[in-house]
Amino acid sequence: MTTQHIPMFAQVNKYFDKASAHLDLAPGLLGAIKACNSVYRMQFPLKRDDGSIEVINGWRAQHSTHRLPTKGGIRYAANVDEDEVSALAALMTYKCALVDVPFGGAKGAVRIDPSKYSVDELERVTRRFTYELFAKNLIGPGMDVPAPDMGTGPREMAWIMDTYSTLAPGQIDAQGCVTGKPVTQGGVRGRAESTGRGVAFALREAMCYAEDMKPLGLSTGVEGKRIVIQGLGNVGYHAAKFIEGYGGIIIALLEREGAIYSEKGLDVDKVVAHRLETGSILGFSGATDYPSSRDALELDCDVLVPAALENQITGENVDRIKAKIIVEGANGPVTADASEKLLARGVLLLPDIYTNAGGVTVSYFEWVKNLSHMRYGRMEKRFQERSNERLLQAVEHLTGKHFTDDDRARSSEAAGEEELVNSGLEETMIAAYAELRTIQKVRNVDLRTAAFINAIGKVAMAYTQRGIFP
Ligand code: NAD
């Protein structure tokens, strides 16, 4: 089937309006929060490897500057447009507010299919895009900080940082102009997996309440549940790995070229290795092929994680979706109308602005690391280890018990950067879910509405406490 074009910003604003009805805020203030502050559209030439010139379209939208810097990924995709970038920037505003990350919302995009360009061409596009942002003061550690999104990753972020540093020589905080960088270029350990890890934390949190699982006919816990995941990119792959780690059975994986299904469960890393070798997930040993990836969204399962792209569950297929829990790994994978139908059927829908907030949370940790110019854990690790060892010795002395070398190694080891980052992410996802669930119960609303109520309330507070610039 063909995908219909569904304006995304209108979808986000539907959620906003539904949540606003529960808030006692002045219409003018709500209007100010909802509006997309600014969108910069650029067109620039790319010299292709064959010598021809192509005009490239790009955007940077800053939805809300109630906190600075603004923050949001850069997407390289063939169909991206201004509406989508504005919608994604708005989602960033609400997402950051929800998880108490002190940024305004932004998003950037370049309209290219990255698979059709060489690495050299992608580097030229990325550097020129960065230059265009720099020339308009739309990038900088205190101004606007991009990150990876669909079609971009650490490599592009390193190019952005290098270009920015060249244009701003001697700026001591230059590394903080972008997040999602390779660890050797000022990135933080744990960033690459963070969004997928956060998705898995979100599912784990939602599934730990027996009273919420009972109406779905499910026991608590991810273990043993039948999971379908769409997208094996940054978010989908890591989400699949962590959910697999919790004992979830990945019964189907959906990619561009089709889907594969096995009731016994798919080994995610083996599927990835097979795809690298053959160029496709199809034909994986022991699995059934589904030539239409979209049809596989309708498979019977406990949990469906759409983690590829927007508008995947729409009015067209929603009545055939059988999942009991849907975790929005991607931004906007379920349309507003489809959401209403799913909620009416009692499906537990975990909204994108919560579930995929792990990426921006760890981006925040990376930015703070860049501004402090020091790796997390560097100052205290050895000190903490010695303190832990002294504690073990005291316990041995008092109890006469002797710890084995194994016990010692595990108990005295202090957290390094990765452990601290993961712990900060886990705390953020747990605390945010607790807030969401409380609002959901108290207001008797769905989780997405609860998330928007919480986020809008926090942005409104920032506006009103500071006053709106005349
Ligand atoms: P990615 O480019 O790394 O991965 C996307 C994957 O989806 C690719 O493997 C691609 O082949 C696959 N895909 C494309 N079309 C498909 C289709 N029709 N059916 C099945 N699979 C398809 O992108 P990503 O960074 O993983 O982002 C995915 C989604 O998550 C996007 O909506 C993005 O905005 C959102 N997101 C990403 C991050 C992040 O940190 N990367 C953070 C928050 C939200």
The Å distance, Cα 80 to ligand 1 centre, comes to 13
Apex CA 323: angle with CA 317 and CA 327, to 5°?
95
Q: Per the structure block, which two tokens stand in for 22? A: 């529960």
**CA dihedral defined by 101, 90, 338, 315, rounded to 10 degrees?**
-150
Report pLDDT for 4: 59
pLDDT tens readout for residues 182-194: 999 999 999 999 9
- What domains are there in the chain, each with its CATH number? 1-35+188-377+415-470 (3.40.50.720), 38-185 (3.40.50.10860)
From 142, 127, 123, select the one nearest 71 (Cα to Cα).
142
Spatial contact of 454 and 439, defined as CB atoms under 8 Å apart: yes
Q: Which residues contact 326 (CB under 8 A, 6 or more apart)?
A: 303, 304, 305, 306, 313, 334, 342, 347, 348, 349, 350
Instruction: Work out whether strand 325-327 and strand 348-350 pair parallel, antiparallel, or are unpaired.
Output: parallel
Nearest to 180 by CA among 193, 166, 170: 193
The pTM for the full model equals 0.95
Question: What residue has token string 């508008």?
Answer: 311
pLDDT of residue 291: 84
> Which among 107, 181, 381, 458 is annotated as catalytic?
107
Task: Share the mean pLDDT of the chain.
Answer: 95
- Whether 71 is catalytic is no
For 279-314, what is each residue's pLDDT tens digit?
A: 999 999 999 999 889 999 999 999 999 999 999 999
- Structure-token pair, residue 172: 């001591």
Could you give phi then psi for residue 39, rounded to 5 degrees? -130, 125
Residues having CB within 6 Å of any atom of ligand 1: 148-151, 195, 230-236, 254-256, 293, 307-309, 329-331, 356, 359
Q: What is the pLDDT of residues 304-362, one digit of tens each?
A: 999 999 999 999 999 999 999 999 999 999 999 999 999 999 999 999 999 999 999 99
* CA 118 – CA 76 distance, rounded (Å): 14
For the CA of 356, the nearest atom of ligand 1: 43
Cα separation of 300 and 164, whole Å?
48
User: In this prediction, what percent of the chain has a pLDDT beyond 70?
Assistant: 99
| CA 15–ligand 1 middle distance (angstroms) | 22
The average pLDDT across 368-380 equals 94
Residues 265 and 221 sit within 8 Å (Cβ to Cβ): no
